[in-house]
């Protein structure tokens, strides 16, 4: 969940800043004296929407480190960190992805994975998680996060966010134009009411859109559970950690049933 909150928060901030920048500098010739060119606005919205989501994706690792205070570990810090790095390396090899950066941060039990590329990701765990769970349980959590990376969930989320952003930008400017003409009685071009309404609508619609993206992300959690079960060789550790509902547990059990006896033959589903 922390991974999603960080991404959505960054995306919303980038989207609002991009919108303000383009409005101030007049980028995007969708405003005409007689009204809005909806075709040009749709193109403008898609450019801003997808640019915002991909900028957020590229910023995800440094933003995650900065916002959580996570520090990278390499195993030299102590036996716990060495085990953590070795476990992530083992899971990454099974998932056939590059070795992610491993980080630890202070906080309540939690973990997340982020990054724009499968072979250049970040897996972070909190000190609370390391202190409150057994190694088997921590390994299950790490398997879940590595499965997110292997499944390309951050890129999938970015594409979904890009589509949602497009609608946010488009509708915000349509509403802004309506408010400016009807409430502020602007007859030619646009007045301050347009820009104020656009900024407010970008924020409000962005928050509402985040609910949609969070729902899609929830569905990806099921696949990450199943992927972790495959990487670990059994669905039991995942069930013990996440206490899954019936449908989530079914994904884990199905993955476990498909496992071969060799770890080298394990695949993320």
**CA-based Rg of the chain, rounded to a whole angstrom?**
22
DSSP class per residue in 197-262 = HHHHHHHHHHHHHHHHHHHHHHHHHHHHHHHHHHHHT-SHHHHHHH---HHHHHHHHHHHHT--S-
DSSP class per residue in 26-45 = T-S--EETTEE-HHHHHHHH
pLDDT at position 262: 33
Closest by alpha carbon to 169, among 48, 17, 71?
Answer: 48
pLDDT at position 100: 96
Structurally, how many domains does the chain consist of? 1
pLDDT at position 97: 96
For 134, phi then psi, to 5°, come to -75, 165
Domain that holds residue 253: 2-265
Select which of 145, 187, 221, 265 is catalytic: 145
Closest by alpha carbon to 4, among 163, 141, 156?
Answer: 156
Q: Is 84 exposed, middle or buried (0-12, 13-18, 19+ CB in 10 A)?
A: buried
Question: pLDDT tens track of the chain, all 269 residues?
Answer: 565 666 667 767 777 777 666 666 555 577 776 678 888 888 888 888 898 889 888 988 998 999 899 999 999 999 999 999 999 999 999 999 999 999 999 999 999 999 989 999 999 999 999 999 999 999 999 999 999 999 999 889 889 988 998 999 899 999 999 998 888 888 777 788 888 998 899 889 988 988 888 888 888 888 888 888 889 887 666 655 655 444 444 444 444 443 333 333 333 33
pLDDT at position 78: 95
Q: Where are the beta strands (DSSP E) in 4-72?
A: 31-32, 35-36, 71-72
State the DSSP code for 74: -
Angle at 163 between CA 59 and CA 177, to 5 degrees: 105
Distance CA 145, CA 120 (A): 14
pLDDT at position 24: 62
Distance CA 6, CA 48 (A): 20
Catalytic residue flag (residue 145):
yes
């Amino acid at each position: 969940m922390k991974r999603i909150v960080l991404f959505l928060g960054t995306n919303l901030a980038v989207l609002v800043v991009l919108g303000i920048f383009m409005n101030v500098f007049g980028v995007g010739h969708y405003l005409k004296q007689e009204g809005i060119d909806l075709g040009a606005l749709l193109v403008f919205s898609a450019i801003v929407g997808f640019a915002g989501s991909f900028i957020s994706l590229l910023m995800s690792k440094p933003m995650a480190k900065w916002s959580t205070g996570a520090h990278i570990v390499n195993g030299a810090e102590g036996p716990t960190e060495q085990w953590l790095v070795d476990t992530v390396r083992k899971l990454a090899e099974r998932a056939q992805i590059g070795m992610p950066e491993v980080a630890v941060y202070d906080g309540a039990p939690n973990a997340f994975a982020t990054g724009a590329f499968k072979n250049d990701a970040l897996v972070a765990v909190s000190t609370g998680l390391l202190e409150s769970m057994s190694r088997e349980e921590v390994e299950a959590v790490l398997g879940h996060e590595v499965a997110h990376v292997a499944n390309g969930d951050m890129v999938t989320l970015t594409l979904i966010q890009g589509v949602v952003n497009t609608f946010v930008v488009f509708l915000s400017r349509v509403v802004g134009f309506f408010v400016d003409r009807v409430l502020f009685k602007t007859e030619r071009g646009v007045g301050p009411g347009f820009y104020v309404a656009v900024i407010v609508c970008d924020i409000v619609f962005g928050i509402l859109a985040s609910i949609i993206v969070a729902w899609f992300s929830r569905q990806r959690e099921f696949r990450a559970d199943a992927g972790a079960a495959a990487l670990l060789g059994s669905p039991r550790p995942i069930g013990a950690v996440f206490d899954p509902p019936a449908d989530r547990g079914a994904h884990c059990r199905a993955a476990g049933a498909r496992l071969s006896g060799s770890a080298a033959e394990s695949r993320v589903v």
